[in-house]
Amino acid sequence: MSDNLIEPKDCALVLADQQAGLAFGVGSIDRQMLLNNVIALARTAAVFGIPIVVSTSATKVYSGPLMRAIQAAIPEVVAIDRRNMNMWEDDAARGAIVATGRRKLIFSGLLTEACVTFPVLSALAAGYEVHVVGDACGGLTPVSHDLALRRMEVAGAKPTSWIQVLPELQRDWTRHATYDGARAIVEAHGGGYGIGLAYARDMIKPA
């Protein structure tokens, strides 16, 4: 696949096991920051009209449903529940991804070491271009998270962050159709950058 910048028309977002029961075990990133980043990524996909495939596992046994705050950001998306760790090996989950018709996949999930790594490696083997949003994934430890990201990168996955995905899709702030939505996401979730955008809007007046 090419190394060109991603375009909304080419991409699908895949959220794997963004569930509270798994988030409890995350030690690679502050859990509130992780949730912030996943919500920002999900909202970004919605603003740019990117198909979203959500899969969960062991919802009744341990992990619980898709985290409520993420579901609230994408209320129309219904999670596909499964038993196995590799969602690519689940016919319904894989079928939903294939049905989008998109060949560039943007992955986020828990835990990085398993339920992210396994489907990413499988999707790469199936010929997809895969971008892994490292700060919207959580691992058990910083070391194991980093090793998982490195393994995926060596296999051909492209590491990225949610704040890189958004401007890469927007590309030009004169694209008015998505400007307001993209800016609102940055203001709500972008930390100091978002604070700066809000300040510029509210305080700096044109001459």
**Catalytic residue set:** 115
CA–CA distances in Å: residue 162 to residues 26, 118, 169, 200: 18, 21, 11, 22
CB 158 within 8 A of CB 132: yes
| Peptide bond preceding 169 in cis form (omega within 30 of 0) | no
**Can you say how many angstroms the Cα of residue 67 is from the centroid of all Cα atoms in its chain?**
14
**C-alpha distance across the termini of the chain, in Å:** 47
55: closest CA among 29, 91, 101?
Answer: 91
Residues composing the chain = 207
Which residues fall within 8 angstroms of residue 2, CB to CB, at 6 or more apart? Answer: 129
CB 20 within 8 A of CB 63: yes
CB 66 within 8 A of CB 56: yes
Residue whose tokens read 């058990």: 140
